Amino acid sequence: VAVLGGPLYAVGGHDGWSFLATVERWDPVTHKWSYVAPMPGARSTVGVAVLND
């Protein structure tokens, strides 16, 4: 999970059955989740960072 300029990004993970290749964004203004471009492969226990913000 990372926060960049307001939105929160959830990257990869595990749904109880399989690893995920999804990237999702939470918009604190609209209170809605949306999908961002998927990763090329599924990942779990991912580390993310903001660079040059």
| pTM of the shown model | 0.77
User: Domain spans of the chain?
Assistant: 2-36
Q: Give the DSSP letter string of the chain.
A: -EE-SS-EEEE--B-SSSBB--EEEEETTTTEEEEEPPPSS-BSS--------
Torsion, CA 36, CA 1, CA 48, CA 39, rounded to 10: -30
Q: What is the pLDDT of residue 4?
A: 72
What radius of gyration, in Å, describes the C-alpha atoms of the chain? 12
Mean pLDDT, the chain, whole residue set? 90
* pLDDT tens figures, 2-13: 777 889 999 999
Residue 32 pLDDT level (bands cut at 50, 70, 90): very high
* Model confidence at 36: pLDDT above 80: yes
Tokens of 32: 């809605």
Q: What is the pLDDT of residue 6?
A: 86
